[in-house]
Amino acid sequence: MVKGLGAGNKGLSRPKRTQNLRHYILVNPKLKRSIAAPLAAPYLPEFLMLPKNPIIGLCQQASFMISAAKVDQCPADEGLEVAFAGRSNAGKSSALNTLTHANLARTSKTPGRTQLLNFFRLDDERRLVDLPGYGYAKVPIPLKQHWQRHLEAYLGSRESLAGVFLMMDIRHPLTDFDRMMLDWAGASGMPLHILLTKSDKLAFGAAKNAILKIQRDIHQQWGEGISVQLFSAPKRQGVEQAQEVLAQWLGLLETPEDE
């Protein structure tokens, strides 16, 4: 029998072995990071443990708030919110889910799935809003008019709207509706950030050419103020870049004027 592990002195020997094992995990560099990390973390310098972008923590605690069919059903117009707009099926709900690491917004292969303004709470003062897609031809005209009217009413009146993420399928960019949104954002001074979604559907070179062309067209027609990026929900491409914009608009990052 191994010394110290006899039935009679179990209680004395076990803690010692555990302590030795813990010590071994902490000091042995050959062990995998994933095993060593939980024990080693408290000894890391504080700045290494801080999340890079404060939006990440807020997104992790995001929760569904309310679905509104019209503007007067929306939550109180206080604090800050960012809305996800775009043509039907462009990937608005998928982008929102990818950015929040959750399955909050309902996605579907059937265009026209999101028919209400869906609000998601980040904290007491910040929200994300999944908007109904515009421009799906098969939606009955009265329903289409209903959405359009309420979408316009929402975009036109919402004081807490800090900016709009416009989703465009990279393979079908700048539809008439996208142009309308760009015109409206330009005229109203609303910050707009474009996600070219489904970029995984194109090869790397083709996606790069597409973004360069779209960027050029947008900057020529609507000015340099509109930012554009590649995005893929399944590949999680562009998540950090989009989170950076969200954090800025939601007042979570210091802007040069704050310093």
Ligand X SMILES: Nc1nc2c(ncn2[C@@H]2O[C@H](COP(=O)(O)OP(=O)(O)OP(=O)(O)O)[C@@H](O)[C@H]2O)c(=O)[nH]1
Residues 75, 128: Cα–Cα separation, whole Å: 12
Residue facing ligand X at closest CB distance: 133
What minimum distance in Å lies between the beta carbon of 12 and ligand X? 59
What minimum distance in Å lies between the beta carbon of 134 and ligand X? 8
107 binds ligand X (CB under 6 A): yes
- Dihedral of alpha carbons 121, 167, 230, 179, sign: negative
Beta strands in the chain (DSSP E): 63-68, 80-86, 117-123, 126-130, 161-169, 192-197, 227-230
Kindly indicate which of the ranges 15-23, 72-80, 103-111, 213-221 contains the residues binding ligand X, using the contact rule CB under 6 A.
103-111
Kindly indicate which of the ranges 26-34, 150-158, 195-203, 215-223 contains the residues binding ligand X, using the contact rule CB under 6 A.
195-203
Answer whether 226's CB lies under 8 Å from 181's CB.
no
Answer whether 62's CB lies under 8 Å from 102's CB.
yes
Residues 62, 194: Cα–Cα separation, whole Å: 22
What minimum distance in Å lies between the beta carbon of 253 and ligand X? 25
Nearer to ligand X, 194 or 252 (CB): 194
The two structure tokens encoding residue 214 = 């779209």
The pairing of strands 117-123 and 192-197 is: unpaired
Nearer to ligand X, 56 or 202 (CB): 202
Q: Which of 81, 82, 83, 92 touches ligand X (CB under 6 A)? A: 92
Q: Which of 28, 60, 108, 221 touches ligand X (CB under 6 A)? A: 108
200 binds ligand X (CB under 6 A): yes
89 binds ligand X (CB under 6 A): yes
The residue count for binding ligand X (CB under 6 A) is 23
Residues 185, 191: Cα–Cα separation, whole Å: 7
Give the 3-state secondary structure of 129-152.
Answer: EECCCECCCCCCHHHHHHHHHHHH
143 binds ligand X (CB under 6 A): no
Q: Which of 82, 94, 126, 248 touches ligand X (CB under 6 A)? A: 94
Which of ligand X, Mg ion, none lies near 100, with the C-beta cut-off 5 to 8 A by kind?
none
The pairing of strands 117-123 and 63-68 is: antiparallel
Task: Identify which of 91, 83, 86, 88 has the alpha carbon closest to the alpha carbon of residue 117.
Answer: 83
Residues 40, 21: Cα–Cα separation, whole Å: 13
Binders of Mg ion among residues 90 to 149 (CB under 5 A) are 92-93, 113-114
For ligand X, what does the binding mask look like between residues 232 and 251, x meaning CB under 6 A?
A: xxx-----------------
What minimum distance in Å lies between the beta carbon of 230 and ligand X? 10
Interacting residues toward ligand X by CB under 6 A: 86, 88-94, 107-109, 111-114, 133, 197-198, 200-201, 232-234
Q: Which residues bind Mg ion (CB under 5 A)?
A: 92-93, 113-114
